[in-house]
Structure 1
Amino acid sequence: MKATKILMGLTVLLVGFSSCKKANSDVDPDTGNGSAIGEVSGIWKRGSTQVIKGDIIIPEGQSLTIEEGVTVVMDTLAKPEIIVKGNLYAEGTAEFPIRFTIPEDSRTEKNKFGRLWGGILAAPSCAELLLNHTIIEYAGSTTTAASTSVKMSLYKAKSGENLPAIWFSNVNGKLVITNSTFRNLQEDCTYIEGGKIIFSNNLFYTTGLTGGEAINLKSGCLADVAYNLVYSTNTNALKLSNSGDRNPQTFVVAYNNTFINTGWRRPTAKGGSIWVEATVRVNLFNNLFANTRFGIKRDTKNPEDARSLIGNNLYYGESQTTTNQFQPSADVIAGVNDIIGKTAGSNDPKFLNYPVSNPVDNPVFNTAWNFHLTAGSPAIGKGKTDFFRHHAAGLILNGNLYSSPAPASYIGAYASN
């Protein structure tokens, strides 16, 4: 009897020890539905709902694969962070995207700029991070001293920081974000500190309460950024910088993107469309700027690499104020074969279904808008196609090949309808 009691005690002790080391995960093996706090890895099954009640960590050397149609619901009181020390693969489809969100009753006008959960924060040990057909919304909470990211010295490692929806920090790692949507976020959608990177065919809107970019790249990045639509970011659509002293020098090839109304909600004049600084090397071709606050703008005290190439971009300003701010100057960069008018209304891109008179400070996005070009658009046939891109041959993540798309002969993210 005494031996039996000792054995039972040891069993309880071992179970208790195991629960401290592994995730607090309650998963229905038939549906894949579940909830988690702590360490997670393995597979979240297609079509399942995962309720995240506290910070979760993908351990170093392990992976979490999220299948198509999974809904990940973040607890708005706990405001969880997703810490990726291993690898994360979110592989949705056009028909069944993956969605990182909050409970339906919290998706209100009051919360349109999110702040209700942390974000996906990839530590330097994260080798691969993939988002394909994935929606990220209502993220970007502010850190405190109790935040897991602060305790682990991740991101900016201090309290009071507004988290990006995605942070990636491995200069030797691979990051692919494609066919995905970022919306209802407090500040930066993405903040990237190194890696081999593809951003393609993504949509960014209703982001940035008082600051923030759609894509913010620091030193250590070799990135292709193509066929993205960025609407009304608070500050720039792209902030491209070599700050941080990481190798390699950041070199960004950004082409065939459409930028609409960006930069106007920034209280200072730094906001605009594309900002370049700190010896970043850029090749910027075939980008369409409609009613953005400025053209491509540089930090005159700390400018871009002299080898940078810019050209075949189109600018449209509904107002004369906007058009004036596209004109080349010491801090607004002109490109070869750029299409820049000097009067308001010049070079109307002739979108299929978007009112170019839409107020520039309106962050609300109408999903019925269509930014394809119509006949007579000055963007048709004016693109450049014979330039280098980093990842034309592709990057392999989780055994699958993802390539940066070929440039188009038109300007902007969308062809003629």
Structure 2
Amino acid sequence: MKFKQTIAAIILSATVFAGCEKANIDVDTTPTSGSAIGEVSGVWTKGSVHEIKGDIIIPEGKSLTIEEGVTVLMDVTAKPEIVVKGNLYSLGTIDNPVKFTVSDAYRTAENKFGKLWGGILAAPTCAELVLDYTVLEYGGATTSDASTSVKMGLYKATAGENLPALWFSNVNGKLIVQHSTIRNFQEDCTYIEGGKIIFANNLFYTTGVSGGEAMNFKSGCLADVAYNLIYATNTNALKLSNAGDRTPQAYIISYNNTMINTGWRRPTAKGGSVWLEATVRADTYNNLFTNTRFGIKHDPKKLEDNRSKNDYNWYYGFDQATVDQFQVGKNDVVEGGGHDVRGTKAGENDPKFVNFPLNNPVASADFNIAWDFHLQGNSPALGKGTTSFTRHHKAGITLSNGLTYVSPEPATYVGAYGTKL
């Protein structure tokens, strides 16, 4: 039976992924089980389970394709890192996502902020990385001198760093993260240092013990960021910076995102929704800020590029303290455009979500999957967005495997979700 399953997997891989080599001989790619440590490449077939016993590395010049429904199960004792020197394509579906996770016994409230494995660390030689319908959870372990990433000089290359769920570092690379969920991580969800990038239709929640952003972009990035829901990140939903002096200058276009309760668990008052610094060029449109700490904010000592634009953004605060922190002229909040809806009184500009308690405690990191952030048919946020801007990747990003990803069209409503169809 084992022999037949292996033959079937090879035939399927050859048919669907012409040109892909069989996965590394040390990895069992049958649909039922497998384990991995060391170098891996090839195809992990639909529905299979792969127990990661130690750090794994996709070698330079090689690729690993992960098909729909695969579970990548991390050993919580080894706390593995996934190092991508080649290419990684995680291709789940809406009904069968790929999951990078830990066993059921460890998915507990006590492990709310993960730390049970490392993260996906893409070296500068990684040309292409896709996370599509993929779940990353319960990671963000702290590095030591023995960590593979430290020995290879990856990420911040020092012991004592809390790893992000995803680090990408090739200014000439291509990065797609869409329809994916990142949750239960110790600090940053993503830390991106270059590339042509699309982040779209993702969900971020319950991340950051004492710091950390959902999406953290540095110099070298040309990114479209759209239709993401960010709930209760410790600090910012978006940290946008040109730090690092890489070419091209960081230029981030963020539109139609919904941010809820972000920033309130940050121990200092650095930021809490969108943070701009260090000559980043950033355009922000159609974003919905609900009970976030501050509005769009910048570092007054390291200002953003003066070509940056923000308009058609919507602000709601349940209490007066929150509304006060949205106001321009306080707390280094950036002046918006003439179409922003900001208000000055608690409770103004209720976006009318289908199902979310607006008095939800702002410092709570607990997320209820029954909440529904679509807009009701009588929402005042409908029709208040703009489509009159150009995004980076309207023509699409085409990968070497023939797949093309296009950043989504902007909508005339504000936030990540319009009315339910």
TM-score range, shorter chain: over 0.9
Q: Aligned pair 1:416/2:419, yes or no? A: yes
State the Cα deviation string for residues 349-391 of structure 1 (Å, max 9, x = none). 0000001110000100000100011133221000010101000
In 1, the alpha carbon distance for the partners of 2:41 and 2:398 equals 20
Q: Tell me if the contact between 2:24 and 2:42 (Cα under 8 Å) persists in the aligned partners.
A: no
Structure 2 match to 1:383: 385
> Per-residue CA shift, 1:74-99, capped at 9, x if unaligned?
00000000000000000000000000
Gaps in structure 1 of 5+ consecutive residues: 1-21
Query: Is 1:361 aligned with 2:359?
Result: no
Q: 2:286 matched to which residue of 1?
A: 286
Give the whole-Å Cα distance in 2 for the aligned partners of 1:411 and 1:86.
38
C-alpha contact 2:141 2:186 (8 A) present in aligned 1: yes
- Counterpart of 2:409? 406
Q: Within 2, Cα distance between the matches of 1:38 and 1:354?
A: 45
| Residues 363-372 or 31-40, more deviating | 31-40
Select between 325-334 and 263-272 the one with higher mean Cα deviation: 325-334
Q: Matches of residues 81-120 of structure 1 in structure 2 within 5 Å? A: 81-120=81-120
Q: Does 1:350 pair with 2:357?
A: no
Amino acid aligned to 2:405: Y
Preserved contact between residue 118 and residue 165 of structure 1 (Cα < 8 Å): yes
CA-atom RMSD in angstroms: 1.1
Separation of aligned partners in 2, 1:358 and 1:271? 20
Amino acid at match of 2:413: Y
Given the superposition, is the C-alpha separation of residues 209 and 24 from structure 1 closer, same or farther in structure 2, using an over 3 Å criterion? Answer: farther
Q: What residue in structure 2 maps to residue 202 of structure 1?
A: 202
Q: Tell me the equivalent position of 1:49.
A: 49
TM-score by length of 2: 0.93
Question: After superposition, where does 1:263-274 map in structure 2 within 5 Å?
Answer: 263-274=263-274
Specify the SS of the correspondent of 1:386. Answer: coil
Aligned partners of 2:29 and 2:44 also within 8 Å? no
Matches within 5 A, 1:174-193: 174-193=174-193
Counterpart residue identity of residue 343, structure 2: G
Asked if 2 retains the 8 angstrom alpha-carbon contact of 1:234 and 1:271, the reply is: no
Give, in angstroms, the shift of residue 333 of structure 1.
1.3
Please give the residue correspondences for 1:176-255 in structure 2 after superposition, counting only pairs within 5 Å: 176-255=176-255
Alignment pair present for 1:123 and 2:123: yes
CA drift of 1:23 comes to: 6.0
- Residue aligned with 2:105, SS: helix
C-alpha contact 2:271 2:297 (8 A) present in aligned 1 = no
Distance of 2:24 and 2:164 partners within structure 1: 24
Q: 1:33 Cα deviation (Å)?
A: 2.4
Structure 2: distance between partners of 1:111 and 1:57: 26
Instruction: Give the letter for the 2:315 counterpart.
Output: Y
Give the corresponding residue for 2:335: 334
- Higher gyration radius (CA): 1
Contact 1:25 1:34 in 2 (8 A): no
User: Partner letter of residue 301 of structure 1?
Assistant: K
Amino acid aligned to 1:180:
S
Secondary structure of the equivalent of 1:110?
helix
CA deviation digits over 1:149-197, x for unaligned, max 9? Answer: 0000000001000000000000000000000000000000000000000
1:373 aligns with 2:375: yes
Indicate the residue corresponding to 2:34 in structure 1. 34
Match of 2:395 in 1: 393
Question: TM-score, with normalisation over the residues of structure 1?
Answer: 0.93
Alpha-carbon distance in 1 for matches of 2:150, 2:280:
28
Do the aligned residues in 2 keep the contact of 1:194 with 1:221 (CA within 8 Å)?
Answer: yes
**What is the CA distance between 1:201 and its match in structure 2?**
0.1
What secondary structure is seen at the aligned counterpart in 2 of 1:38? Answer: strand
**Which shifted more, 371-380 or 149-158?**
371-380
Distance 1:356 1:25 in 2: 51
In structure 2, distance between residues paired with 1:74 and 1:102: 5
Shift of 1:108: 1.0
Please say if residues 241 and 279 of structure 2, whose CA atoms lie closer than 8 Å, have aligned partners that are also in contact: yes
Distance in 1, matches of 2:239 and 2:345, equals: 27
- How many residue pairs get aligned? The number is 395
Q: CA deviation at 1:28?
A: 5.5
For 2:263, the aligned partner's letter is G
